[in-house]
Amino acid sequence: MPGKKASFRTLAPVATLAALGLVACASQPNSETTGSSAAALDAYCTAKVNGVGTLDVETDYLPHVVHCENGGAPLESLKAQAVAARSYLYYKLDSSGSIDDGQGDQVYSCASEPDADDIEAVAETSGIVLQYHDATICSFFVAGADATPPDCVGTGSDPTGTEAYVTYNQGTSGSGIDQTTLGYVSPTNYANRGCMSQLGSRCLADQGDSFDTILKFYYGADIGIVEATGACITASLPDGGSIFGPDGSVIGSQGGPAPQKGDGAADNSSNDGSTLDESSGCAISRDAGKKGGSSALGIALALFAVTRARRRGAAARSR
């Protein structure tokens, strides 16, 4: 979108992880298999965000996180970001019951508000999280290096110094995947299934790849793309990819419109000029700025408008 400045994450040295308290994602686990068991996945409709309050997950928390972490990206890249952010949130709520805003976890507060694309990305992936062996993964993501088609592997400029943590797991599965060194590396650590590149996801989206294809590119062919159930989860299937039930079966698939292209800027500034700084790949941002007065009601109304417009479009196409 012309005039929009991209936001994505940079990375501090991994040695800072312990100081930041990122035990759940980065340190050696106490149990043989790490991950949140979720045979029957119930949605988290609200989340306790430390220092902020209890927020609605789908209409407030996630649109802000998608905006602050990867605003300005193409729609399918934003949808992949939404699923990764939701997965990490579920992982954190399962393990500790709350999540930090900023350096320890994902960035909710920045100086500007979610736009229509950020809201749509969350709505079209409503309730969808990543799992492996019925465990919700700790979905690492970093900015990565500049990526170019057709393979979209980061081989270009790496101003954030994060490409070393990105994993390319297209077509791999089981113990054959590469785990990211941002987390504890062990075949029994089911929570670590790799790390997504935000710049790479933009490249893939610009080529027409759907969000589920993007996610499998980084987290492996056997990553479970599972939809939670709950009162806050919309019933309509998202455009752009296949959605899988807990048993791995496809429960729906639709083709989506061509992704909307962001500006592709390769810097670490958000739309409002604040600087983002990743310290774990489990989500952190420094000096992101304080957003001025979030409005869950305003986002909910915008979400309603997006949903209504999409339904009208579908009705028109069926005539």
Alpha helices per DSSP H over the chain? 17-20, 23-26, 62-70, 75-96, 116-123, 198-206, 211-219, 296-318
Q: What is the pLDDT of residue 251?
A: 42
Half-sphere CA count of 105, side-chain side, radius 13 A: 27
Least confident of 175-189, 204-218, 254-268, 300-314: 254-268
Half-sphere CA count of 99, side-chain side, radius 13 A: 31
Q: pLDDT digit string (tens) for 111-142?
A: 899 999 999 999 999 999 999 999 999 999 99
Residue 184 structure tokens: 């504890």
Residue 30 structure tokens: 């106490």
Q: pLDDT digit string (tens) for 40-61?
A: 689 999 999 999 999 999 999 9
Supply angle C-alpha 30, 11, 151, rounded to 5. Answer: 100
- Flag whether pLDDT at 152 surpasses 70: yes
Residue for token pair 């009705």: 315
Residue 314 structure tokens: 């579908």
Return mean pLDDT, the chain: 72
DSSP tag of 15:
G
Residue 310 structure tokens: 């999409």
Q: What is the pLDDT of residue 6?
A: 55
Q: Closest Cα to residue 204, out of 76, 67, 66?
A: 76
Rg of the chain, C-alpha, whole Å:
18
Q: Closest Cα to residue 290, out of 113, 95, 87, 97?
A: 113
In percent, how much of the chain has pLDDT > 90? Answer: 57
Residues in the chain, overall count = 319
